[in-house]
Structure 1
Amino acid sequence: MSAIVEEPDGAVEPVKVLITLHEGMDAMDVVGPLEVFSWAQHDKQNPETKAFRVVFAAANEHTTSAQGASFRAHMTFEDAMKRLPEIDVLVVPGGGTDQVLKAKGQPLPLIKHFAELQKKNPNRERTLMSVCTGSMFLAEAGLLAGLSATTHPDFITKLEILCSSVSLRDMAERCDVVEQRYVVNNLRFDLGEDEDQNPYIMTRKEYKDHKRRKSSSMSATSPIEEHPNGSGSGGRRPSSARKGSMSWKQSNNRRESVLKRMNLRLGGLRVVTTGGVTAGIDGALYMVGALVSDDAADEVARVMCHKWNKGMVVDGTDV
């Protein structure tokens, strides 16, 4: 079932987000997504329509970040393991990763269990999102095999080395490590009949053509050149696909969507990795756009006085 449930009175149940905490994590990796999810609403005029509910899990009641700030957890990792079936989005911050990787400790078991839940039960749409060097945990857990991923620019090489080592360990495919604001695998805007007619992403070739036409239109006095798919150079491709909470609810209920999800990697688990520190804000805005609406994400960015820097979806560019 979907976490977005319409009650008889029309109310909408929030998406359940769990953020893991570990000693030495980067505070912004936690606070950035928390701020975004906390502001997101289905109706910006109605504060009662909050789209997300966020909770923290940690080994102890209090966890100290690299900046010396103390965060109080809502539950232990043991309790979180039991409650994972009801979680829709698992967010893993970076910072202080070496000790966790060396000890093979939490949140590694939690991450693996979350992925196993999706593979065993693809009926529910789940998302695993890492911030900054949190992608190291996903790599160590063997979840980036055959996917694309990013991390803090200063740690790109380290992630590549780790992914290479894990691929040899698990006899699995390599991960394509790229430098982006965020990278999305197993995206699902495929709710229209023709997934090629997706208004939210362009292929890389289309994106290059789009940038070229936009540059030309700024210096030319002639009318804006039409997009090959019918829209103006600054527009998106026409589509009957719907995006947002209704789309997400339908994707959890429609038989064909579930069957398609079963055939994706990791049972269709959406895997999002983000770049350094503030890139977690952009990744969280992407999630608001995917699970609520682009309008809701734009409104959050406006309230936060933040320019939404778009990232990359596998085989496409978010625009």
Structure 2
Amino acid sequence: MLSVAILVFDGVDILDFAGPLEICSHASHSLDYRKPDPVFEIDIVGAHELIKSSAGVHISPRTSIETAISRLDTLDVLIVPGGPPPILESLIKSNSQELQLVQAFGRLETKERPRIILSICTGAMFLAASGLLKDTKATTHHLFLDDLRAICGTKGETNIVAARYVDGGVRPNGLRVITSGGVSSGLDAACYFVEQAASPQVAAYAAKMVEYEWKASS
């Protein structure tokens, strides 16, 4: 079973968080809801005991960021949702725990154990600030492509495009970097991620279970 952590923070977009969570929770090797064989063990990670989303919904993370960082060697996947850009920019400028988690995961040597980081919407800003989008291709919400370019520009060259999701490939340390467009695009990116982590059949099964029509990346 692969270990997945979903990062949450005050102001996180609820569908950025809940969409990939829903898809991942239905990923099953058995392809039979009566005999589930989960692909992932999912954990919710946050800096506080209670996180308030941008929609006012409260989320109670099971694991603190400090604990998650101490257990990074056991983590296969990190999902990074987005939120209002001013909140993301503040977290980046303050070298927040959230940014430190992304940085620490991004530094792991993963060649012998493939790992994936997936950002949803403006969550790509955390990846950009951590240097994980350098010399690759990435996307975010269509309104904030220029904001992402500005952050990436301080780290090196990045090809920023408008897309449902983008597989930026595997970094030298073996980390696969996937970014998605805004909000509902996270559902498509999550399906693609499940395909990469498990199989096309498991991804199609998870999408069908939530009655979702998986859209292409462009």
Please give the range of the TM-score, normalised by the shorter of the 2 chains. Answer: over 0.9
Q: TM-score, normalised by structure 2?
A: 0.94
2:20 counterpart residue number: 33
Residues 281-317 of structure 1 deviation map (CA, whole Å, 9 limit, x = unaligned):
11110111112111111121112111101216xxxxx
* Partner Cα distance (1:132, 1:53) in 2: 23
Shift of 1:15: 1.1
1:160 counterpart residue number: 149
Q: Equivalent of 1:75, from 59, 63, 71?
A: 63
Distance 1:266 1:61, change over 3 A: farther
Task: Say whether 1:276 aligns with 2:182.
Answer: yes
Shift of 1:99: 2.1
Q: TM-score, normalised by structure 1?
A: 0.65
1:74-153 paired onto structure 2 within 5 Å:
74-95=62-83, 96-118=87-109, 121-153=110-142
Structure 2: which 5+ runs fail to align? none
Residues 114-138 of structure 1 deviation map (CA, whole Å, 9 limit, x = unaligned):
12112xx521100011000000011
Counting matched residue pairs gives 214
Letter of the aligned partner of 1:110 in structure 2? L
Distance 1:108 1:89, change over 3 A: same
1:18–1:90 contact (8 Å) kept in structure 2: yes
Structure 1: which 5+ runs fail to align? 1-13, 168-172, 188-264, 313-319
Task: Say whether 1:16 aligns with 2:3.
Answer: yes
1:148–1:183 contact (8 Å) kept in structure 2: yes
2:26–2:38 contact (8 Å) kept in structure 1: yes
2:3–2:76 contact (8 Å) kept in structure 1: yes
Residues 257-281 of structure 1 deviation map (CA, whole Å, 9 limit, x = unaligned):
xxxxxxxx34121000000001111
The alignment partner of 1:91 has SS state of: strand
Q: Equivalent of 1:174, from 154, 157, 167?
A: 157
Task: Say whether 1:186 aligns with 2:177.
Answer: no
Select the structure that is richer in strand. Answer: 2
Task: Say whether 1:298 aligns with 2:204.
Answer: yes
* Partner Cα distance (2:187, 2:41) in 1: 16
* Partner Cα distance (2:42, 2:100) in 1: 20
Shift of 1:150: 0.1
Shift of 1:140: 0.8
* Partner Cα distance (2:59, 2:201) in 1: 31
Shift of 1:23: 0.6
Shift of 1:152: 0.3
The alignment partner of 1:90 has SS state of: strand
Residues 129-188 of structure 1 deviation map (CA, whole Å, 9 limit, x = unaligned):
100000001111111110110000010111112211x23xxxxx311000111111226x
* Partner Cα distance (1:185, 1:276) in 2: 17
* Partner Cα distance (1:47, 1:32) in 2: 23
The alignment partner of 1:129 has SS state of: strand
Rg larger in 1 or in 2?
A: 1
